[in-house]
């Protein structure tokens, strides 16, 4: 199992994470685009997508026949893996979870996971140009 994204989309996700720093950034990734989401938790250790924006974005994707491929959020201080809370709050098991670690701000790292049955499994992340 893996997650393949356009390099352009991956870059947009990383830029968004940097812009949200020192708070966590979050957003959705479809097959063709990145949809940034406001983090209403405004926190360096937590994220909560604006529910109204989330519903609107999911509805748009459905209307356009697009799939929710991944849910992204950042960890401003790492680590590069889902937290216990992330695993508990993984409400969309069909989507991959993309985590951007900014523990080294100049060297962002990204990893993808599948979260199911209370477990996070790292999957291969491929960027295509
Ligand atoms: Zn997290």
Query: How many A from CA of 80 to the centre of ligand 1?
Result: 9
Q: Determine the pLDDT at residue 42.
A: 95
Are 85 and 46 within 8 A, CB to CB? Answer: yes
Q: Which domain holds residue 106?
A: 2-128
* pLDDT mean over 120-127: 97
Nearest to 109 by CA among 78, 71, 69, 70: 78
Query: How many A from CA of 51 to the centre of ligand 1?
Result: 17
* pLDDT mean over 50-61: 97
Mention every residue, 6+ apart, whose C-beta is less than 8 A from residue 8.
none
* Alpha-carbon span 26 to 98, nearest angstrom: 10
Percent of the chain with pLDDT over 90: 95
Would you say residue 51 has pLDDT above 90? yes
Q: Indicate which CATH number applies to the domain containing 63.
A: 3.40.140.10
State pTM to two decimals.
0.95
Would you say residue 26 has pLDDT above 90? yes
Q: How many domains does the chain have?
A: 1
Q: Determine the pLDDT at residue 15.
A: 98
**CA 71 → CA 1, 31, 96, 106, distances in Å?**
16, 12, 6, 23
Query: How many A from CA of 73 to the centre of ligand 1?
Result: 6
Task: Identify the band that residue 129 occupies on the pLDDT scale cut at 50, 70 and 90.
Answer: confident
Task: Identify the band that residue 93 occupies on the pLDDT scale cut at 50, 70 and 90.
Answer: confident
Query: How many A from CA of 56 to the centre of ligand 1?
Result: 23
Residue written as tokens 């957003």? 27
Nearest to 112 by CA among 95, 128, 98: 98
* pLDDT mean over 6-27: 98
Considering the chain, what is the average pLDDT of its residues? 96
Mention every residue, 6+ apart, whose C-beta is less than 8 A from residue 113.
81, 82, 96, 97, 98, 99, 120, 121, 122, 123
> Which residue of the set 24, 60, 67, 106 is catalytic?
24
Q: Determine the pLDDT at residue 1.
A: 78
State yes or no: is 67 an active-site residue: no
Q: Determine the pLDDT at residue 45.
A: 94
């Amino acid at each position: 199992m893996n997650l393949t994204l356009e390099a352009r989309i991956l870059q947009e996700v990383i830029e968004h994470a940097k812009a949200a720093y020192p708070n966590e950034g979050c957003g959705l990734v479809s097959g063709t685009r990145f949809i940034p989401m406001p983090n209403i938790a405004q926190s360096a250790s937590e994220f909560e997508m604006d529910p109204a924006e989330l519903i609107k974005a999911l509805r748009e994707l459905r209307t356009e026949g697009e799939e929710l491929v991944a849910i992204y959020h950042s960890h401003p201080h790492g680590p590069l893996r889902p937290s216990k809370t992330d695993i508990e709050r993984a409400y969309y098991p069909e989507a991959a979870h993309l985590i951007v670690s900014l523990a080294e701000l100049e060297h962002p790292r990204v990893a993808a996971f599948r979260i199911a049955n209370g477990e996070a499994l790292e999957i291969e992340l491929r960027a295509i140009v």
